[in-house]
Structure formats: structure tokens, C-alpha cells
Amino acid sequence: MSYVINEKCLGERYASCVAVCPVDCIYPGQYQSKEFMVIDPDVCITCGACLPECPIGAIVESEDYSPDWAKINKELAPQWKDSPKVPERPKDDPPRNPNNKLVQ
């Protein structure tokens, strides 16, 4: 089972998770014309390093918690694997989506 980035990341993309990932399995891209990140389930080692890094709680620890987004992560990961790295957004930067709240 892989960790999954869900809809909370859509249009947000803090990218703080990327810096702590020991296997570089988190990739940036555009989904539905919005910034997004995905976790490659074939590379993720479920170490948990990324989970506390997301300031809006957009990462879940199992595909079972977000099966629809797990499918999206799996489908997009091969396409986005070679995407250039994106700059990290400050964790205290307010969410762009009013439905998202900072969790840290």
C-alpha cells in the first residue's frame, strides 16, 4: 500500500513533502488545469516521512482511505516522473482553497 495525495492538494501544491521523501516518489504536474502532486505507488516505501509535512493534510497513509485519488496518483505518476522539481511553498502560506485549513 502506498501513501496517496488527495484533492486537498489540487490547486495548492506546497511541495514540502518532496524534500523529505527518501526515494523521490512525489512528482508535480497539472491536473484539471491546477497545480497538483502525486505519489508514485510503485516507488513509495510507505515510510511516512511525507505525512506530517503537508500543512493542509492532503496526504493519506493508505490507498484504502482515498481509492479514487489513489487511482489518479497511479495513472499520473508515470507521466509526471520526469517533471522538473518545483519550489517549496512556505508552510504558513494560507491555503488558496477556502475549504482547506492549515493543520500544523
> Which of 66, 69, 56 is CA-nearest to residue 100?
56
Supply 69's cell numbers. 485519488
Considering only CA atoms, give the Rg of the chain. 12
The three-point CA angle 44-69-99 to 5° equals 115
pLDDT tens readout for residues 36-52: 999 999 999 999 999 99
Domain ranges of the chain: 4-80
Is the predicted pLDDT of residue 74 greater than 80, yes or no? Answer: yes
pLDDT tens readout for residues 16-72: 999 999 999 999 999 999 999 999 999 999 999 999 999 999 999 999 999 999 999
In the prediction, which pLDDT does 49 show? 97
Kindly state the percentage of the chain with pLDDT values over 70: 99
CA distance 97 to 85: 23
Is the predicted pLDDT of residue 104 greater than 80, yes or no? Answer: no
The top-level CATH class assigned to 4-80 is alpha beta
